[in-house]
Each structure stands twice: as C-alpha cells, then as structure tokens.
Structure 1
Amino acid sequence: MTNLFSLEGKVGIVAGLANENSIAFGCAKALQQAGAEVLVSYGTSKAERFVEPLRSEMGDPELMLCDVQDDAQLDALFERAKQKWGRIDFVVHSIAFAPLEDLHGRVVDCSRDGFSLAMDISCHSFIRMAKRAEPLMPEGGALFNMSYYGADKAVDNYNMMGPVKAALESATRYLAAELGPQGIRVHAISPGPIRTRAASGLKEFEALAVDGETRSPLRRLATVQDVGSAVVYLASDAGRALTGLTHYVDAGHHLRF
C-alpha cells in the first residue's frame, strides 16, 4: 500500500537556515527524515559557522549562501537545484527581517525605508522564489512560507511585522489561485512563539512565549520540529487537496487571543 505521507524521491529547497533553533532547520530535518533530498540556503556569510555543524542532522545536504535581496544569488540557488535534479517538488521560505528601530516602535512611526525593507525581505522575496520555482515544477509541487498570528490580530509588540505578514498571507492566497492550475500548492505556516533568533528581536518576546506555555490549550510552545512535521504532511500526497491556507502550528495559542 502506498504511504501517502512519504516524500521518497521528492526534492526541494529550504531557505533561511541560521542556527539549530531555526524553523528552517526543523523543516530540513523533517523533510529529509520523510525521504526527501534538500538543498539548504543561509542568508549571510556570518551564519556559515553556525549552519555547517548542522549538516549531518539534515542528511548531509548541500548548503548554499543566498541573500534573497541579491538576484544573482537567488538565481544561482534555483539554477543549482535545476542542475542537481532537473526539477523541484517543494520550496520552504523561512525568512524575515525588519530594522530593530522600526520593529520596536509603533506602526504609525515606522520609516518608509524600514517598512519597504521588511516587506521586500519578508514578503516579496517569497514571490520572487515562487516565480523561479514555477518552471521547475512541471508536475506540480508545494511552496511554503512562515507567518504569525499577528498578521490577523493586533498582537502587542509585534508592531510593523503584523502588516508585513498580513501581506505575506494575502500573497499566499493569490499565488495559490494563480499557480493551482499547474498543480502548485501554496501555504503559509503560522507557528506560535518559538525561541528562534528572529523572534528574539521582538520587544517583550519572552512574555509572549511564557503566555504561550501557560495559556495555549496544549500548555506548551510548538517546536521547530512540529513545524517541520506540518510541512512534511502538506508537501506529501496526503496534503494534495489543500492549498491557499494559513496553518496554525502553535499548540492552539491563537485561540487565546
């Protein structure tokens, strides 16, 4: 009997690895354990010393530097995937950034440049990756990004990233509608508070994490492994009828807002 949850023979890109606490790390591990082969990218040369030791836990994938603001590096990432496999079955975009001076202030006070930068890296780069992925998915595939509940509700201290993630979730729906006829599914994953490096930039993040641990229905935080497991399901044939959705992987924390 066919295992619908298996990813044997599937290949794809996981972008945004920074360290062992990265959601990208949880996704790459889970995908590899389900049978997929991955090409993993990290965003800065400074991250190399943190990501290289993680290679064995991800099944010894090829690692590539890819700053998503550099079109040449983005092209090189997808060209490498084409050279390796001739196609891809999935792309995981786990990338977000906002200048701290804008992120820590009120939305009404954020700068034009800061907002534009956050939108470019956190949202439009997903669209750029989808454009490059489309011709490499002739038989369909799945695209994933990482959002947060602050896209839907005004969450204290999430500030400027709320509108940015709202744009990302909207883009997810539009891309799902546009790419669906080619069999390409598009999903936003919305983890709850996870103690990642990116999350540490949020003002009063620890209070939000403690709230998740004490008030979520499951009384715990989701882990990067939990997020990876959700991506495996959605990338597999078991999730082939799902697209355009925001999936909360947060131990039910969003129910308590």
Structure 2
Amino acid sequence: MTEQGSSSTRAPFSGVLAGKKGLILGVANNRSIAWGIAKAARDAGAELALTYQVEALEKRVRPLAAELGATVVGRCDVSETETIDAVFAEVEKLWGKLDFVVHCLAYSDKDQLDGRYVDTTLENFNQSLAISCYSFTAIAQRAEKLLKDGGSLLTLTYYGAEKWMPHYNVMGVAKAALEASVRYLAADLGEKNIRVNAISAGPIKTLAASGIGDFRYILRWNEYNSPLRRVVTIEEVGETAVYLLSPMSRGVSGEVLHVDAGYHVVGMMNPSAASKMADLLALLPAEK
C-alpha cells in the first residue's frame, strides 16, 4: 500500500492539551483507533483515564495505560448502567472535573453483519443501537456535570452511516443514529460551551475491523479509489482528534469530520483503479 507522509509533515501538537484531563473509552490494544487517539492526546500534554470493557481486556489495557502514564478507572460495559456510573464516580474522585471524553465503542453480532440487513433480528438491532449509539448519550449525561469549564465530547463513526457498505448492515444504521445524536447533543450542550463532534475514519486494520467480511477487499478498494490513493492510519485519526479536543477547534461543534484520505467525495471508481481490478477481485472469496 502507498506509504503515508512522514512524521515531519505532521502538525506539531505539543502542549495544546497541557493541563487537560480526559477520559477515553474503548482502548483494546495498540492497533485500535482509540489507542491512536490516546497516544496523540498524551503527546499533546493531556492527562488521561482509560477503561476496559470486559475483564479479559484488563490485562491488555493496564500496560498501555502505564505506557501513557494514564489511570485505569475501571471496567465500563455500557450495557450495564452501573459500570458507567462507577467509572464517572471514579473520575470525579480522581480529578473532580473533565475537559474531554472520547467514545470509541460499537458492537453488533458478527454473524448478522454478513447477509442481508433485512434479516436483522430485533434483539441484535436493539443491542447494536444501544451499545453503538445510545451509549454516547449515556456518557454525555454523566460527563456534563464534570465538564465544568466546557470541553469536548468526541465519538467515532464510519462512511457506512451515509452510504451502503458491504458487511455493515445494522452497524450502518447505528452509526447514522450516532451521527444524528452528535448534532442533537451539540445543540443541547452548546450553551455550556461543551462541543460535540465525530470523526468518520476510513477503514483501518484493527481488531474491530476483523469482524467485517471481505475487509482486505474494502481496504484495498479505498486505497485505489481515494483521492490520496492510500488509506489512513490510527496516528492520523489521533492527530485529528487532538484538534477536535483542543481549543484549536473551539468554534467547531455538531461536526462529522472525515479522516478517510478523501474517499467520501468519490462518486465512482477512479479510472486508474480499473487496471487493478484483477488484484481486487483476487481478494474476494470464490463463489460457491
């Protein structure tokens, strides 16, 4: 794949989050987008608190937190309201306030991401919307009183919220609802100088992406057809997050900012990609 620009071309963010305290939910490993955001925020000077979703992830998250000098404030399974309450109680005890919260949480039954959306069960629909969308509102409810001096709420979405994407099904519906939530939360919380935004990241090879069928094909398609002729990295998403979490974006709220090498502006296959169709098709499973 095409190489990304060197680090020397990246914007210097040193110190823009100095003195800021932030909670990041959803770090799973050092390849996750949440990790890219956490590392960039720490490099920008922020003091961080992290959570883990299930007990099995704790042993992965604690070493990552130690690497950043971050505090692990406990398990946060957003399907269990009491764990959300416990995390925010721990943050209040730790700092007494917050400057930003980053929500990197989503879930759907992997088996129902294949096949047809029309076959989605009510149980999976409700669970997908609750975890992938409503949890952001639940977190905003609890963060509001700790964002005493204003601040920033940030979540992650994907282009499948706007257009049909293969193997995305109910997650596309959940992300569309999440993007609408960003706009309504921005309107509700703006009078307290709390900004609410989302990053729509392009496809990145992460643990979460492993649940999406034909992911290598999707990744390569984006590389061949995006205006920048490449895919993006967790570092690039992280640096964009720093912008949205810092005073540099103090006039930005209710925004869905695409970090996808420009793919969202494309209307049809790039002619230069046509010669590479054989490579693309080779990534798809043979028809049975």
Q: What is the SS of the residue equivalent to 1:57?
A: helix
Pair 1:210-2:236 in alignment: no
Q: Name the stretch that deviates more: 24-33 or 59-68.
A: 59-68
Q: Report the secondary structure of 1:160's partner residue.
A: helix
1:49 aligns with 2:59: yes
1:194–1:125 distance in 2 versus 1, CA, 3 Å = same
Alpha-carbon distance in structure 1 between the residues aligned to 2:217 and 2:235: 22
Where in structure 2 are the equivalents of 1:1-257 lying within 5 Å?
6-62=16-72, 64-257=74-267
Question: Taking every aligned residue pair, what percent have the same amino acid on both sides?
Answer: 45
- Give unmatched runs, 5+ long, in structure 1: none
Alpha-carbon distance in 2 for matches of 1:58, 1:221: 26
Q: For 1:6 and 1:151, how far apart are their aligned partners in 2?
A: 31
CA distance in 1, matches of 2:97, 2:54: 26
Deviation at 1:80, TM superposition (A): 1.1
What is the deviation of 1:140? 0.6
Q: Distance in 1 between matches of 2:63 and 2:242?
A: 23
Could you tell me how far 1:5 is from its partner in structure 2? Answer: 6.7
Q: Which moved more, 1:19-28 or 1:210-219?
A: 210-219
- CA change 1:32–1:173 in 2 (3 A) is same
TM-score in terms of structure 2 length: 0.85
Whether the 8 Å contact between 2:48 and 2:70 is mirrored in structure 1 is no
Residue 82 of structure 2 aligns to which amino acid in structure 1? A
TM-score (norm 1): 0.95
Structure 1 segments of 4 or more deviating over 4 A? none
Task: Indicate conservation of the 8 Å contact 1:144/1:189, yes or no.
Answer: yes
TM-aligned CA deviation for residue 4 of structure 1 = 10
- RMSD value, Cα: 1.5
Shift of 1:154: 1.0
Q: Is the 1:13–1:88 Cα contact (8 Å) retained in structure 2?
A: yes
Q: Which runs of 5+ in 2 are unaligned?
A: 1-12, 268-288
The one-letter amino acid paired with 2:118 is V
Shift in Å, 1:61: 3.4
Any conservation in 1 of the 2:201–2:260 contact (CA below 8 Å)?
yes
